[in-house]
């Protein structure tokens, strides 16, 4: 459970790293429809398409690749992403999530909303296929499953060594210092999109690499994919994004509702230093 939670939270760190700046919500445009199955953080296995090199494009991906000669210098792309990251103070978005299980060849999908506020405040609210929330209040991580009347908590989440890869949440992220970057040889997204592969300089027991799908003209991140050590892929797509809207810190506070059972997240420590 603990490792699965960290894998899910890695995605928001990736999004914050690149200061995802997709299209703003269009009130005249209907919300996209997605299939609803089990979310990636659940223990239920999910389907994985055979990866290209390590991760395969989903149904929305195009097989064509961007001509290497037309790609901008990688250092220029990374500099623009870092600059966006540095100026993003908060964001909110709708998300769809697809988890591919490589060995079992099964998949699952989920959807919901996410909010982030620097430094270190985050909230994921899943709406399908079941209701649950992941909340980071700056110190503690709360997992709330209302249907089961269950709350789990890691009160020392900020100090947890397992969250070292989430340093972007605490305002300490630098792409080139923390990752080895290169253009990914496969292709997620549209044929013209740039796929940037980020491999952590310090090996993680939770994931192998991260892939950003970047618009080649606006340098906006359209998707983010986490590839774990088994080759499974956890793909997030974000839409209706709102940037720097002065989200209130109160949105990230959490008090267990009356009647819920509260326990520690397995493997976590509540002995904060």
pLDDT, tens digit, 9 for 90 and up, residues 16-33? 433 333 333 333 433 333
Asked if residue 93 is part of any domain, the answer here is yes
Q: CA Rg, the chain, in Å?
A: 18
* Residue 156 falls inside a structural domain: yes
Smallest CA-to-CA distance from 116 within 254, 242, 267, 207 is with 242
State the residue range of the domain holding 94.
2-264
- What number of other Cβ atoms are within 10 A of residue 230's Cβ? 10
Omega cis (within 30) before 83: no
118 in a domain, yes or no? Answer: yes
- Let me know if residue 80 belongs to a domain: yes
Whether the CB-CB separation of 17 and 173 falls below 8 Å is answered with: yes
How many structural domains comprise the chain? 1
Q: pTM for this one?
A: 0.72
Tell me if 121 is assigned to some domain.
Answer: yes
Nearest residue to 80 via CA among 214, 222, 178: 214
CATH number reported for the structural domain that contains residue 116 in this entry: 2.50.20.10
Rounded (5°) CA angle 230-142-132 = 75
Alpha-carbon distance of 201 to 171, in angstroms, equals 18
Tell me, yes or no, whether 271 lies in a domain.
no
What's the confidence (pLDDT) of residue 15? 42
In a domain, 272, yes or no: no
Please report whether residue 134 resides in a domain.
Answer: yes
Q: How confident is the model at residue 50 (pLDDT cuts 50, 70, 90)?
A: very low
């Amino acid at each position: 459970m603990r490792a699965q939670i960290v894998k899910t939270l890695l995605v928001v760190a990736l999004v914050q790293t690149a200061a995802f700046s997709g299209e703003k919500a269009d009130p005249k445009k209907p919300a996209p429809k997605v299939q609803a199955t089990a979310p990636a953080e659940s223990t239920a296995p999910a389907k994985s398409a055979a990866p290209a090199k390590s991760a395969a494009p989903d149904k929305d991906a195009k097989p064509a690749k961007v001509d290497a000669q037309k790609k901008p210098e990688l250092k220029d792309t990374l500099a623009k992403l870092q600059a966006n990251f540095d100026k993003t103070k908060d964001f909110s978005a709708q998300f769809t999530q697809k988890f591919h299980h490589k060995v079992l060849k099964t998949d699952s999908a989920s959807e919901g909303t996410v909010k982030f506020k620097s430094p270190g405040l985050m909230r994921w609210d899943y709406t399908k296929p079941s209701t649950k929330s992941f909340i980071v209040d700056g110190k503690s991580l709360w997992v709330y499953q209302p249907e089961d009347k269950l709350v789990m908590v890691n009160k020392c989440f900020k100090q947890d060594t397992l969250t070292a890869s989430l340093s972007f949440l605490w305002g300490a992220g630098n792409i080139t210092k923390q990752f080895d970057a290169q253009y990914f040889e496969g292709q997620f997204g549209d044929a013209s999109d740039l796929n940037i592969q980020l491999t952590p300089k310090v090996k993680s027991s939770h994931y192998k690499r991260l892939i950003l799908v970047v618009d080649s003209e606006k340098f906006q991140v359209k998707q983010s994919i986490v590839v774990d050590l088994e080759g499974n892929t956890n793909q997030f797509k974000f839409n209706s994004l709102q940037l720097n809207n002065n989200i209130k810190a109160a949105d990230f506070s959490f008090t267990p509702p009356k009647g819920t059972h509260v326990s520690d997240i397995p493997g976590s420590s509540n002995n904060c230093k």
